[in-house]
Structures are given as structure tokens and as C-alpha cells.
Amino acid sequence: MIKELVEKDKISKYLRSVLASGVFLAVTLLPIRSMSFTVCIFSLSKEFMFLLFLFLLFCLLLRYDLSHRIVKRGNNTVDLFFNIIVDNAYVSVAILSLLSVAASFLIFQFIFEGIPHVQDAIAQLFQVKIFSLGKLYVEPHPLKEFFSFLHIIDKGNKWYSLYPPVFPFLVMLGYVLHTPGIVNPLLGGITVLIVYKIGEVLFNRRVGIIAAILLVFSPFFYFMNASMMVHPLSLLLTSSFFFLFILADKKDNYKYFSFSGITLGLLFSSRPYDAFLIGMPILVYLVFNSFKYRNWKNLTFFIFSFFPSASIIFIYNYFTNGNIFNFGYYVWDPYYAKLGFILGHTPLRGLLFTLSRLRELNYYLFILPVPSLIFILIALIGRKIKENKYLLMMVFEIITVFVGFSFYHYYEICYGPRLIYSTLVFIVIISALGIERISHNFYWKKTKAIIIGLLCFFYFRINLPLYLEYYKHSYWGVNREVHEATKKNNIHNAVVFFNYHGARCIPHYKTREENLWGAAFMWNSPLLDSDVIFARDLGEHNKDLMNFYPHREFYICYYDCFIKKFVFRRIQRG
């Protein structure tokens, strides 16, 4: 009788796990939004590999351990090689970190042509140039309508980017050395080291190494590092904050709580909403423990250490926006940055955005012919998650960020679902735990090597080339063609009126016409004193700007769809 009840309980747990897995896979693969590129890179041999991983999931991990049925044949080549990597963990992680830096920087130079491509990054670069002048802002041009740009504030006598100051300040250090594109690859390389340490401290070296490998070979990671976006800094600070918190909690050391508070403050001064979402679960945990143990020391040091570094953005707000609580997002557009169900944003729309981000994460994270998030499922199914509070915290961190951004009315896929990029540290560590779980229970010598070989083949031979091809063609409508054409036509001491209307005939151009303006604007100095000044083509109003620069030559630049290149036509004053 007891034996039957035990067997029924096993079957019940198995069915519940199968049901949970089915729901998870349906939700994260649901085609809420169609994207031809992502569908393309995901479709090849998807069914075969997907069924194979489902077999491993339901048979190996859901209380059906095949190791009792398969004879162990000793270590295979894959295991021996991986054991060598683990035994020399610090050297291996250092190599992975350098590989990450090199790959990201090479992509920045040769795929992204050494320039920012997204309007956010171009606005950040504008602020970098202002900082390099030793200023927080500059005066806008009297005819500022010729130089207006997305995400750049030009109110009153101030012209500056709407974004917080920490990231532009770091990039400025690279800019003065004429290599601004090296900053994000370096931040990514440091992140790899921290992710390894988190995996090692929480679980073991194997998990740490696997997490570092997953991160380094994630195109979402190295393409974002190759951009000039703030998100790599957000990921580094999130990883550092969580690592310092783990050390503080394990050692019950107020110094580490202070360091973690400082790091969270820096994150707040870089991406305030990220810091709010990432810090909330940890703050709840600390408050709960303080009440439970009647000990407020750790919480006190954490909070008071947060404010000095968080005050950076408040001080910056005061000098730029006139009020410490007046953030640039709201100065630029009071409605754009608002959270909540406004501007037509509804709970259903927020839910669809969340499901879409999960789906895109499945595509962009590892570009394997299997759902990327399936490894998280493998790690968590059948595991008593409550017994590992740090694993539970990572799960809550992911949920908090996804839920938090469901209240934001804006949805966009740029290098991947970038708004939830800060969760990558938690995702790769839990995924590494799932892969380690598979490896621990899988003893087929040849099959393990075959599976890894197939995954590497699809990654390097099929999916990665498609990815590189996708990004190298004027990503986000921006490239160096305008700048190169200016040099080729030997144009100097000139104002170039840039006509970006009708730009959809440009090959591979798949974005708004307005975005193409960034390809010209990025070359302007904030003081508008460079050899060639790019301005918007405003038709009859151009004469106003021409009168402002009596000693310069003037050109109109436009894309000729017949000869398929940018053309410069000289114009005379009057």
C-alpha cells in the first residue's frame, strides 16, 4: 500500500513537472510578434534538437535518472577537456574575458564601423564630447531647429543629452584616447570575471565556468558590448552588486554591505529604473532579516552607503535640469518616460510585451537551434528551490525586472530585448546550473560529443554568419557613408544640409527616415565649430543658417537612388 502511494506521488510530481514545462515552453515560444530574422536563425533543425532536449529534460531530470540504466564507461574526451578547464579555472576565465573584449571590440570596429548606430548611443556620444570639453552642457545654436536630435535636450541656454552622467563619463576616458569604443568591451570583460565568481561562490567551479562560457558566446552579450549603449555598464554594476551582496550575506560583514550599497547607487546614477528593480528584492530581504533578528546594522550600512553614489545623478540633475528630482527623461518629454498604464498602454499590452521579451530572449541569447531558456527550466524543475535562497533571489530578480518593464509603454528589439539586459547575469548562472545538471546525469560518451558538435556547427556555421550579416548592413539606418562621402568629395569649411527624406531606397535600410539623420549628426562638435557642420535640410529656411555662417561653403547632401550613393550639390547664398 505504501509502495503504491509512493509510486503515485512520483507520477503526480512527474505530471506536474511535465505540465509546468509545457506551459513554460508555450509561453516563451509563443509567436506574439513576428520577426523574419529571428525566425530564420531559429528554424534550422529546431524540431530535432528541441525534441532531443525535451527527452533529456523529462527523462534525465524529472526523477528518472538514466544513470541507473546506462553503464558508466569512464570519463570521455569532453569531460577530460572540461576538467582541465575547471582545474585551471582562473586562467580559463581570464582567457574567456580577453576573448570577450577582443570579439566585442573587433565587432565594433569592423561590423559597426567604429561608430554608434542607435539614437540612444549617438546622444550618449554627444554628451561624451561635452564632458571632454570640461562642461556639463553647452549653449544651443540660435537656430537650434537645424541641429535637433532625438534624446538631446535643447531648452533655454542648455544643450545636452537626457541620459544620466556615469556612462558618458566613462566613455569620455576612452574618447580622449581616441578609442571610445573600447570602454564597453572592457566592461563586458570584467563582467565575465564577476559572473564566474558568482557561480563559483554559490555553487561550484563548474557552474561558474559554464556561466562564463555561456556569457562570452552569447551574441546578445558581445553585440551589446560592441555598441555604445549604457546597458553593458548596467550589467556590470548589477553583477557586482549581487556578488558583493552574496559575500556580505554569507560573511555577515557590514563592509561588504557598504560596498554593495555603493554599487547599487552607481547603478542608480546610470539607469535609475534598473537599480530600483534590481535592488527591490534585496532590500525586502534585508528588511525582513532585520525585523526577524532584531539587527539593523547591515541594513543601515547598506542604505547609507547607497546615497553617496546615488547622489551623483541628483547633483547632475540640479546643474542641468534645475531640480535634483527632475530627471532628463522628463525634461525631454514629460509623457515618454512615464510608467504605468497610460498613453494607450494597458495591462494586456504589458503582458504581451513581457511574453514578447521572453520569446526574443529565446532567440537572441544563444542563437542555438533550441530555446535558450530551456536550460533555466532544466535547472529549476524538480529542484527544491526554497532550500537555496540565493537561487530563489535570482529567480525573483528576473521576475521583478520583467514585471517592472511591463509597466513601460515602449517596446523595441535593439540588439535583443535590451530593457531586460541587466538580468543576463542571473539567466546565464541558472542556465549553467541546468547544463551542469544535464552533464552530471549524462554518461553516453559519444552522444555528448555529438550533441556539442552539432550545437557548435549550427552556432558557428549557420546562425552566427546570419547574425553578422544582419548587423553589418547599416544597422538602425546608420553607417559611415555620409562621412566618407564628405572626405571623398574633399569638402572643407562647409555646412552640409542633410536631406534624409526618401531614404528608404538605401539598400538594407529598414528603419525610420529620421534615424538616418544620426549618421550625419554624430560628426558634429557640440560647439558646432568643426570643419564640416551637418545640419537638417529645412528647405527655404536654409538661408537663415547660411546667413549665420558667411565665411563657409554650403552643400545639400542626399541619397541618389539611381547611382546608389550620397550626392553633394553645392548651393550659393541667396
pLDDT tens, position by position, 121-172: 999 999 999 999 999 999 999 999 999 998 999 988 999 999 999 999 999 9
Kindly state the average pLDDT of the residues 562-572.
85
Sign (positive or negative) of CA dihedral 31, 32, 33, 38: negative
Q: Read off the pLDDT of each residue in 220-240 and give the average, rounded to a whole number.
A: 95
Residue tagged 545636452 (cell numbers): 160
Q: pLDDT confidence of 202, banded at 50, 70, 90? A: very high
Cα Rg of the chain, angstroms: 26
Question: Which cell is 349 given?
Answer: 499590452
| pLDDT given for residue 69 in this prediction | 39
Does residue 273 surpass a pLDDT of 70?
yes
The average pLDDT across 337-341 equals 79
Q: What is the rounded distance in angstroms from the CA atom of residue 362 to the CA atom of residue 366?
A: 8
Predicted local confidence at residue 19, as pLDDT: 61
Least confident interval from 35-39, 435-439, 455-459 = 35-39
pLDDT of 349:
87
Identify the pLDDT of residue 62.
45
What are the φ and ψ backbone dihedral angles of 363, each rounded to 5 degrees? Answer: -85, -45
Q: Smallest Cα–Cα separation from 394: which of 252, 207, 522?
A: 207
Q: Is the pLDDT of residue 467 over 90?
A: no
pLDDT, tens digit (0-9, with 9 covering 90-100), for 509-538: 555 666 789 889 999 999 999 999 999 999
Angle at 313 between CA 310 and CA 318, to 5 degrees: 130
Q: Which run of H or E residues covers position 471? A: helix 464-472
Residue 232, C-beta contacts closer than 8 angstroms, at least 6 positions apart: 184, 187, 188, 191, 224, 225
Candidate from 13-22, 160-169, 543-552 with smallest mean pLDDT? 13-22
Question: How large is the average pLDDT for residues 403-407?
Answer: 92
Residue with cell 522628463: 330
In contact, 513 and 476? CB cutoff 8 Å: no
Mean pLDDT confidence for 53-59: 51
- Express as a percent the part of the chain with pLDDT over 70: 82
- % of the chain with per-residue pLDDT over 90: 53
Q: Which of 571, 570, 573 is closest to 486 using CA atoms?
A: 570
pLDDT at 138: 96
What pLDDT, on the 0 to 100 scale, is given for residue 65? Answer: 41
* Average pLDDT, integer, range 217-225: 94
Which range among 235-244, 510-519, 539-548 shows the weakest confidence by mean pLDDT? 510-519
As beta bridge partners, residue 158 has 155
Q: Helix, strand, or coil here: 311? A: helix
For 73-77, 84-88, 145-149, 453-457, which range has the lowest pLDDT when averaged over its residues? 73-77
Q: Which of 401, 106, 465, 476 is nearest to 235 (CA)?
A: 401
What pLDDT does 17 receive?
59
Which of 214-228, 301-315, 502-516 is least confident?
502-516
Q: 373, 398, 391, 387: which is closest to 201 by C-alpha?
A: 391
**Residue 465: pLDDT band by 50, 70, 90 thresholds?**
confident
Determine the average pLDDT of the residues in 185-207: 95
Over residues 280-286, mean pLDDT: 95
Cβ-count burial of 254 within 10 angstroms (0-12 exposed, 13-18 middle, 19+ buried)? middle
pLDDT value for 1: 43
Q: Where are the alpha helices (DSSP H) in 176-296?
A: 183-202, 205-216, 219-225, 231-251, 254-268, 272-293
- Position 496 scores a pLDDT of 95
* Structural contact between residues 269 and 234, judged by C-beta atoms closer than 8 angstroms: no
Condensed to tens digits (0 to 9), the pLDDT of residues 346-387 reads: 888 888 888 888 888 888 898 887 788 888 888 887 676 667
pLDDT of the residue at 458:
81
Average pLDDT taken over every residue of the chain: 84
Residue 258: closest CA among 314, 289, 297? 297
- Which pLDDT belongs to residue 265? 97
pLDDT of residue 10: 52
Question: How far is the C-alpha of 312 from the C-alpha of 268, rounded, in Å?
Answer: 9
pTM: 0.88
Distance (Å, whole) CA 292 – CA 277? 24
Which one has a higher pLDDT value, 457 or 503?
457
At residue 46, does pLDDT exceed 50?
Answer: no
Rounded to whole angstroms, the Cα distance separating 4 from 401 reads: 43
Banded pLDDT at 70 (limits 50, 70, 90): very low
Q: pLDDT band for position 18 (50/70/90)?
A: low
Higher pLDDT, 541 or 78: 541
Antiparallel, parallel or unpaired: β 532-536 and 494-498: parallel
